Structure 1
Amino acid sequence: MKFVRTLNNARLAFFSIAYGLSGALIGGTLNRIMIAELGLPATLVAFFFAIPLLISPVRVWLGYRSDGYPVFGKRREPYIIFGALVIGLGIIATSRLAANPTKVTALLLLSGSLSFMLYGLGRNLAHNTYQALVSDRYTGTYRTRAITFYEVATLLGSVMGAGFIGKALETYDPAKLISVATGVAVAIFLLATFAAIGQESKNQVAETAAEQARKMPFQQVLRDVVFADPQVRILFTLVICTFIGTLAQDALLEPYGALVLGMSVGDTTRLTMYWGLGVLASMLMSGLFLIKWLGYMKLMRTGIIASILVFIGLIVTGLMGNVGIFKSLVFVMGIGTGLAGAGMLSAIISFTTPIRAGMLMGVWGVANMVGHAVGNLTGGILVDSVRYATGNAFFAYSSLFTMEAVILLVALNLTTKLNANTSRAHVEETEILAGVAAAD
């Protein structure tokens, strides 16, 4: 029995790999082809790629449906598999769009918007329900460690996918692009199906949770369980602040290295590798032992504090002009981001309950998307504005690092006010499911 459970837990990771693979094709390949090969305006391509983020609020409603409206008696598996199918269809549609050179027309705008909307809908449905399934399957510290391990699997899927797709499309050919995209779409569907099938067990707690989830209309749940809960508002703000604070510089480190420290193109390109290794190492360590030793709250605070110190260090390094220290700080930045991310993921999954797992995962997913979008936008605007006003690249990027440090201080303060056990969803769980679990 223990062997079967371990095997099922391992199977779940294949969805994370599939999810990472889908992001590698869309985010790492199609954007380059649309701009460099097809000559489409960067603004139009950016709009297309923003669509999955713009429709992310649908995750909340999709999560509500998954919580309360089982399909074939299952709350999660069918939604994950259908979501993977929609991801695949979206990938095929977007690749066909990218494989056919065309001028910017109303038809291109419409077809591109619909293709990316299809892809985004599938991503939001499948990933949100998958996270709810992970929440359902694990308890206690196993739950917080599991969500971290599966996030590492997503990163590995992205890396492996980028390598495979890069090799297959070394020389661009429209027919080959469609062939590779179709293969990726099929692989995503098969991997997700293999991961999801047979993961849910029927019991009285699950049935009662589904009944309770659909008792309240969607609008009432939003009002009473989400918007009216101070703990939900605190965590939502914390997630946004943490993402802005750790990722606003995401696309701006390389220009900082070039403009302030005089680094070459090759050196700045490798910065992403240093950062990524730091993230991967810290998340692996978090899943293996740090969450168990420290608890997710101390882990998140450690990551936030480390990130604040790194941003201060980046400013000092810019004054010193020391490239070696800068590279080391980028690696430490990755470690801080990974620790904060692992702690935040653990906090998020600790807030979920069997009744509201899908819906609450949707809420946190929206916070994630908002944090990413606002962070990227704010970072670029701030750097451009300060550089335009002062004509000094160091001042411009230092203002960004200072802003991130301040936002992370806000996030650090918010962690002191967080208590999952007092949230309305947890109170609801205690009142309704405690007796059922004891009798089951």
Structure 2
Amino acid sequence: MNLSWAQIVRMGLVQMCLGAVVVLTTSTLNRLMVVELALPAVLPGLLVGLHYGIQITRPNWGFLSDTSGHRTRWIIGGMAVLGGGAWLAALGVVLMATQFAAGLALSVLAYALIGLGAGASGTSLLALLASACAPRRRAAAATITWLMMIAGIAVTATMVGHFLDPYTPARLLEIVGIVGVGAVLVTSLAIAGIERRAGAAPVPESTPMRFREGLAEIWAEPAARNFTIFVFLSMTAYFMQELILEPYAGLVFGMTPGQSTQLSGAQNGGVFLGMLIVGIAATGLRLGSLRHWVVAGCLGSAAALSVIAFLGAAGVAAALVPAVVALGVFNGMFAVAAIGAMMALAGQGRAAREGTRMGLWGAAQAIAAGFGGLVGAAAADVLRAVLGNDAAGFGAVFYAEAGLFVLAALLALRVIDHGRARGAALVPGE
């Protein structure tokens, strides 16, 4: 079991497709509901929360990929469901303008499909990567695939922002349809044959274990359990701004849909840069431990959020893009360090359970993302009403998120061991 670098890059293309489809639902459609349709931010918050909440099924998908003897089918099938759900979500937004009830019902179904598709495809892909990648390549493989995912998010957000202006419902449906179909085609071509050639297909167990027994077995592992708690708490902080940054740009700074979507692209470009910095420094130059990079990313994110909140109160629009890019850089530093630990821990403990561990951590991240996004959106609505000022309402949420990042940094100092972190980040499994 030893993926070549070319195969790792091909798997990164699948991650790129996942990011490209999901960013449409968490940024562009969210912005259209809040600004163009003048709906409360809590509505897209609930829908995105549903999408993340459905991903509590990730351990199930991971367990199925562990025990079915075939991960590729779950990767491709999940991507098809994800792409179809994204198009239905766009159609739901279009319908809301004239038939709100019908549009909302369709959106609920669509976001549920998005959650199922992302969970099945993403978990199975990570399980294949963890099980088929040589230990000495795991950290680099994690960095490569996540950089490609962030590249997909950044490029898609920027291109969609360009082609979406001037906005029309027909143009929205056309763009989302093209992205969804393209993602399925690229995924099918990229993943074809990798599992078989790498000899990484899981062997079906002679005495099948029930899912609850398999999950309980993994939860009993102290390292897996403690890391799950850390993932949930830190990712709650990470995702609180996801649903309110574009509405903030539109309502406080007067940005158009295309401009705010491009702002999201700039942020994800910063995430890409932050991941690249850690990948080169930690993996290539062997500078710093995993704990150092996690703490630096959390504290830097807190500082950037504080600046973003201050800019709204001061009315300084010119510095918003640099501040958002800085937030992305520190977010990327934190995220790739956490991914390095995840890839290392997935192959430890009971053998042939990489998918279940990845699913458990993916579920913790998804629940935190939905919870954080919903709390951020709801708090923004309430504080804007109470304070009577958009900038003050959004700013208070950004300051609260900064505080959570500081708490996450303190938690990392206790959860992530310094000595083990260095080994896990640089040469996991050895």
TM-score (normalised: structure 2)? 0.77
CA distance, structure 1, for counterparts of residue 223 and residue 125 of structure 2? 23
1:220 and 2:217 are equivalent in the alignment: no
Which structure would you say has the larger Rg?
1
What pairs with 1:158-307 in structure 2 (closer than 5 Å)?
A: 158-166=153-161, 170=165, 179-201=174-196, 207=202, 210-211=204-205, 215-226=208-219, 228-250=220-242, 265=255, 269=260, 272=264, 275-292=267-284, 293=286, 294-307=288-301
Deviation, 1:287, is: 2.3
Question: Contact 2:42–2:374 (CA<8 Å) still a contact in 1?
Answer: no
Q: Report deviation, 1:271.
A: 5.9
* C-alpha distance in structure 2 between counterparts of 1:421 and 1:86, whole Å: 42
Match in the other structure for 2:99 = 103
Unaligned segments of structure 1, at least 5 residues: 423-433, 435-440
Evaluate the alpha carbon distance shift between residue 322 and residue 90 of structure 1 in structure 2; reply closer, same or farther with a 3 A threshold.
Answer: closer
Alignment correspondent of 1:115: 110
Task: Name structure 2 gaps, 5 residues minimum.
Answer: 421-429
Alpha-carbon RMSD across the aligned residues, in angstroms, is 4.4
Contact 1:34 1:45 in 2 (8 A): yes
Structure 2 equivalent of residue 67 of structure 1:
66
User: Retained in 1: the 8 A contact 2:155–2:265?
Assistant: no
From the superposition, tell whether residues 402 and 174 of structure 1 become closer, same or farther in structure 2 (CA, over 3 Å): closer
| 1:108 Cα offset (Å) | 5.2
Partner residue in 2 for 1:427:
none
The whole-number CA distance in structure 2 between the counterparts of 1:240 and 1:81 is 27
The 10-residue stretch of structure 1 (242-251 or 317-326) with the greater mean CA deviation from structure 2: 317-326
SS at 2:4's partner residue?
helix
Quote the offset at 1:255 in angstroms.
7.9
- CA distance in 2 between counterparts of 1:15 and 1:117 reads 21
* Offset from partner CA, 1:349-390 (integer Å, 9 cap, x none): 222125222122222222222222232333345556666666
Q: Does the 8 Å contact 1:351/1:420 carry over to 2?
A: no
The 2-side partners of 1:39 and 1:113 are apart by 19
**Matched pairs, number:** 413
How much has 1:32 moved relative to structure 2?
A: 5.8
Query: Counterpart in 1 of 2:423?
Result: none
Equivalent residue in structure 2 for 1:342, among 336, 340, 345: 336
**Aligned twin of 1:429:** none
Deviation string, structure 1 residues 193-232 (Cα, Å, up to 9, x no partner): 1121111247898656x538x7432111222322x34433
Distance 2:105 2:314 in 1: 51
CA distance 1:48–1:393, change in 2 (3 Å):
closer
Deviation, 1:338, is: 1.2
Shift of 1:88: 3.3
| Residue type of the alignment partner of 2:79 | A
How many Å apart are 1:308 and its aligned residue?
3.9
| 2:76 is aligned with 1:77 | no
Q: Percent identity?
A: 24
In 2 relative to 1, CA 211–339 (structure 1 residues): closer, same or farther, beyond 3 Å?
same
- Find out whether 1:359 has 2:356 as its counterpart: yes
Which residue pairs with 1:140 in the alignment? Answer: 135
Deviation, structure 1 residue 340: 0.6
Structure 1 residue corresponding to 2:148, chosen from 139, 150, 153: 153
Amino acid in structure 2 at the alignment position of 1:194: L
**1:300 and 1:340 in contact (8 A); partners too:** yes
Q: Secondary structure at the match of 1:211?
A: coil
Q: Does 1:332 align with 2:326?
A: yes
8 A Cα contact 2:49 2:371, kept in partner: no
- 2:427 maps to which residue? none
Task: Please show how residues 302-313 of structure 1 align to structure 2 within 5 Å.
Answer: 302-310=296-304
- Cα offsets for 1:44-96 (capped at 9, x unmatched): 655444432221111111111001112xxx3x212111112222333454455
TM normalised by structure 1 equals: 0.75
- Give the residue type in structure 1 aligned to 2:17: A
Question: What is the aligned partner in structure 2 of residue 417 from structure 1?
Answer: 415
Q: Deviations over 1:314-372 (max 9, x none)?
A: 68888998777776554433222111111111122222125222122222222222222
Q: From the superposition, tell whether residues 399 and 32 of structure 1 become closer, same or farther in structure 2 (CA, over 3 Å).
A: closer
Larger displacement relative to structure 2 (298-307 or 31-40): 31-40
SS at 1:355's partner residue?
coil
Equivalent residues of 1:291, 1:299 under 8 A apart? no
Instruction: Output the amino acid matched with 2:356.
Output: M
Q: Give the deviation of 1:398 after TM superposition.
A: 6.5
Give the letter aligned to residue 99 of structure 2.
K
Query: Shift of the alpha carbon at 1:248?
Result: 2.5
Once the two structures are TM-superposed, the CA of residue 178 in structure 1 deviates from its matched residue by 5.1
Which amino acid is the alignment partner of residue 132 of structure 2? R
Q: Structure 2: how far apart are the matches of 1:113 and 1:319? A: 35
Where 1:216 maps in the other structure, the secondary structure is: coil
1:124 maps to which residue? Answer: 119
Q: Does 1:51 align with 2:50?
A: yes
